[in-house]
Structure 1
Amino acid sequence: MFDLVALQVAVACHGRVARVVIAAHDGSSPREVGAAMLVWAGGAQGTIGGGALEWQAMARARAMLAAGGARLDREPLGPALGQCCGGAVTLLTEVHDARSVAALEGTQIVARPVVPAAMPLAVTRLLAQARNAGRMPVAQFVQGWMVEPVAHPQRHLWIWGAGHVGRALVAVLAPLPGLALTWVDTARERFPDDIPAGVTPIWAEAPQGLVPHVPKEAEHLIVTYSHALDLELCHRLLGRGFGFLGLIGSATKWARFRSRLAALGHTAAQISRITCPIGDTGLGKHPQAIAIGVAVQLLNYKEKSETEITDDNRERGSAAHRGPDKGLSRRGGE
């Protein structure tokens, strides 16, 4: 997907930025079509994989920054780069600045030709399907046009606590696509100076007071410094509703919390929706090990949830997805 937010931030920070995206591939490829990276004079963000492929793409992208424009390159990984993938990858490199990024504001699909050309019927149909039936296209290169849906957060995750585990969780989870992270603690000084792009920090003397303002479908990880605050957050979120709620703690802590939550009026079925402990206890208690286990847990939870939703929609005979009917971007050829 086209990560417009990441591009906006990069352009704001670094000026001209080149975006390199895998447009197509024949045979095996280090990444999927649509995988992209941003490149500027002094750095880069994201990855298209492939080691030598990526290194060469970065050098080519930096050479384009001054003049701007776009280009398409087909790279046979074995013969040209000595890689053992065995396939050929087609890369689209485009230079963006503040003006080009502003033109993309509010769009849902970025469709543009590599060289000026009329929009082919196949692209027209893809845009019509998105507009009329809510069927967003996958990233693809169609008859000289690159078509990519704009990435939007699919999951809202609230991390309560900015201590060692909270920081490790943010470091591991922030780069994952489709996640909008809100990070909460009691004071600004509890957060690090550098907070990853896309993470919204909130500090409040009484964080539990934020619960009424949390989206009911949001997911939560509670890792605060205070067991009393942990309990209060669990209590209020059980009353508010949530998509997923994970609580850091031992078996002993969880047993006590179950008893106290029951005393506060929650049923056993309600309490059982809380996941405690979080992550994979077999990985150990190091903050980064906890974060890795939690990331796997959340990704598996998403996959399970999507499977259940798809199965339910099939049983009901209803459409699985409904998307927006406006904001399609058709750049060039019109």
Structure 2
Amino acid sequence: MTLLTGLSTTLREPVLDAMVDATTVAVVVDQDELPGRGVLTWRVFDASGPIDAGEFSVGDDCGACQLIESLLPLLETLIAREHWQHVVLAAPPAMEARPLASTLVATMPEIEVDTVTCVVDAVLLVEQLSGDELLDERGLALGPPDRRNVAELTARQIEYADVCVLANAHRSMAPERLHNLLLHLNPRTTVVAADAGGVPGAPVAKLGLFDYAAAEAWAGDLAAEDRLQPSGDGVTTVLWRSTRPLHPARLNDALEDIVDGVVRSRGVVWLANRPTQRLRWESAGFSASLGTLGEWADTEHLAECTVVATGVGLDPARLQAVLDACLLTESELATLDWQSLDDPFAGVL
């Protein structure tokens, strides 16, 4: 199976057409009817033409979860026909490949996820990675609980992809910069430029590139030296690390400065007023979030802060200074009652 993701269904169509040959069946799930009717529509076709179509009902809880549950019987039916050797699953625009791949690996051993392909728009890529617009504001949320933003979805789709198809490359003023940006976000990926008609210039399916363990490790929450790529053409990735904890109030006050110029950052941080907790740090565009990962005592690591940040036109020294200013000072380390510090993140952690 090839999983196909990407925000633009228009740009995905020529890529999808290039994937379908005599041995391939395609399942395309769309979400145009989701806001109005609460359904995801699907169609099945192969090289000979349309085969079937229908829809999945989606409730008010988790559209992504219901999509996965509804897809499994359809996929089982196609497999039982024993007519094709390859399935292309084109996910809805707001769907990430990771939950789909994880479910398929866990529940359908008869399907081998072969390649995860993501189509990105060269004209809009930096804008999509840099803003704070919610999917819901664009009518793309997969249900009311979906509070992701466009930047978060775009980054996650890229980070899990074995192949990134750079559509509209001929309309971009700096295609090499975009190629470089994609590799900074995911060094595992192969970047393939599409021609003016949207057709990829190299194979993008049946490549045998998907490695579940590697994909999961890269999409995880940890930050490390292996995430660093050589800076070039205005794209920079920075590793920031400290063995001192962050002052929660100063971190909260500095959030806008931290994400300024950063399209994506991930890592693990240590808040002074939560000395035993490992906290996940993540930002995409102008949005940043913290989440709990467990206790430091449950790992082999001493408590520390480690963040990897990627940006276009990013000033590493400025970012380092902003983050350093959020740390407890030497005198605070010695004199402060850490537990008594105000907790601006109490409502989210």
TM over 0.5: no
TM-score by length of 1: 0.26
TM-score by length of 2: 0.25
User: Which structure has more helix as a fraction of its residues?
Assistant: 1
